Amino acid sequence: MDRSTSKINPLFTLKYLQTEDENKYFDRKSCQIRVAELAPHISAFANADGGTLVIGISDKKRIIEGINACGNDKINEFINAPKDCCRPMPRYKEEFIDVVNVHGEPDRVLLLHIEASTGQVIRTANDRTYLRIGDKSKEMLGENLRNLEYAKGSRHYEDEINSYATLEDLDDDLLNSYKEKIGAESIETSQVLRARGFLRQQGDKEYLTNAAVLLFAKNIMQFYSNCRVRFLRIDGRELQVGDKFNIIKDKSIDLPILRIIDEAKNYISDQLRVFITQDIKTGKFIETPEYPEFPWLEGIVNAVAHRDYSMTGCFIKISMYDDRLEIESPGCLPDVVTVSNIRETRFSRNPKISRVLTEFGWVRELNEGVKKIFIDMSEGNLEAPMYSDYANTVRLVLKNSIDERTAHRNKAENESINESINESINESINEALKSDEKMVLELIREDSRISQKIIVEKTEYSRSKVQRILKTLQEKGILYRQGSRKKGEWIIVEPKEMKL
């Protein structure tokens, strides 16, 4: 390889280093720079996604100065800058590439390849913190600094104190259940909370932490309006707005963490459909859940355990479409976890909350929960789950088998539905019916008191589509309703009664 090209990052040719605009991953510095002035850029690269400092090319005029004229002592100071000027020292590698300087003499340029830090925030020696944003190294202060510390796991929102809540605001039943789980029934509640880091001293007073209130509060909305699971049922495969608005259910569950999972599980399990399929070997009809329980429940548990509770106004959202279930959790994937390694890598944004959920049997250790999501979806002959991480949101998508079922159902309709329908409808009317109308009529023949909800579940049609079909059949004179809406029944008009 050309000695004027980086061996660590082949993208860095001399031409690139001299002509390319500075960006998120690359910055030039003159050899005249003071060593201490490198610290903000080292901190910024380490706290972001890593990057390379090029020393020996002026950052304004992009002149190749080289570094040999600096002397060995200053060159060594440049090399040791990440160690001497930052706390803690980030991981890095140094590298020289050969150049010809502005005076036409053989020279070198120094590259400091700074790696992204994991699990810690890198500060300068004077305790200032920077982050690389675009082509700038910007100092992080106040809320921005706290968010960086949360993201790096060096500071946890769950450990911050809640200066408003008191022990009287906590649910005694939840606290007693927790003490029973950890074998501390005989120990005073405040002592247990103190020992587990849920009660912290500040000055001459003790305060509950955010984690304590999120887990055990009597009235969670009094303190955290974002501790919510919102369920949406969308009629169709895409969310529509305006005149086509198609959200048919909107349920918010506002409870402390130790109650919200159970409540969400019970509510959502009632919303999911059960499909009726015929076993090829036995010929018997069997019930198959729309999704295996573990994948969607584990998705909710992970969202509750690992979401970013510092994001006010954001909540867990579960959207049920005709073809999929989406679980969205506030906050990016924490620290070392990525979409590509999520099955093997474990890192908790909220370790204390996760520990309590583990003690209650919700959170699984060693990351086998995510692995089992993939296994159960595969064993259910469903597509692999899809994770994405964007715009401060982690999304899990579970797809059902509606397309496959529709294909099989249409084939079955073409082969067999006509025969059963013909028993009650003359041939000319039958030929004029659409396949979906025939399907609904067949279900009504089997159970004249069948509800629209059951028709929706068995046909996998949307409720609005079922309503349109029933209306069409009534307009054709094939079907009418006898009795009340709740206690009445459907009557199929026999051929001799029809007006052709």
* pLDDT tens profile 371-392: 999 999 999 889 999 999 987 8
Instruction: Tell me the two tokens of residue 323.
Output: 């073809």
Q: Alpha carbon 119 to chain centroid distance?
A: 20
Neighbours of 352 (CB within 10 A): 20
pLDDT at 150 over 80: no
Return the pLDDT at 306.
Answer: 92
Residues 186-213, mean pLDDT to the nearest whole number: 94
Return the pLDDT at 344.
Answer: 79
Round to the nearest angstrom and report the end-to-end CA distance of the chain.
86
Q: Which residue has the tokens 């509770």?
A: 309
Question: pLDDT category, 428, cuts 50, 70, 90?
Answer: very low
Q: Which residue has the tokens 């909107």?
A: 250
> Contact 31/109 with Cβ under 8 angstroms?
no
Return the pLDDT at 495.
Answer: 52
Residues 331-359, mean pLDDT to the nearest whole number: 83
Least confident among 18-32, 179-193, 220-234, 443-457? 443-457
Question: pLDDT category, 429, cuts 50, 70, 90?
Answer: low
56: nearest Cα among 8, 10, 94, 11? 94
Residues 464-488, mean pLDDT to the nearest whole number: 83
Helix (H, G, I), strand (E, B) or coil at 397: strand
> Contact 39/125 with Cβ under 8 angstroms?
yes
The C-alpha atoms of residue 59 and residue 187 are separated, in whole angstroms, by: 64
Per DSSP, 82 falls in state H
This prediction's pTM:
0.63
What share of the chain in percent tops pLDDT 90? 57
Question: pLDDT category, 406, cuts 50, 70, 90?
Answer: low
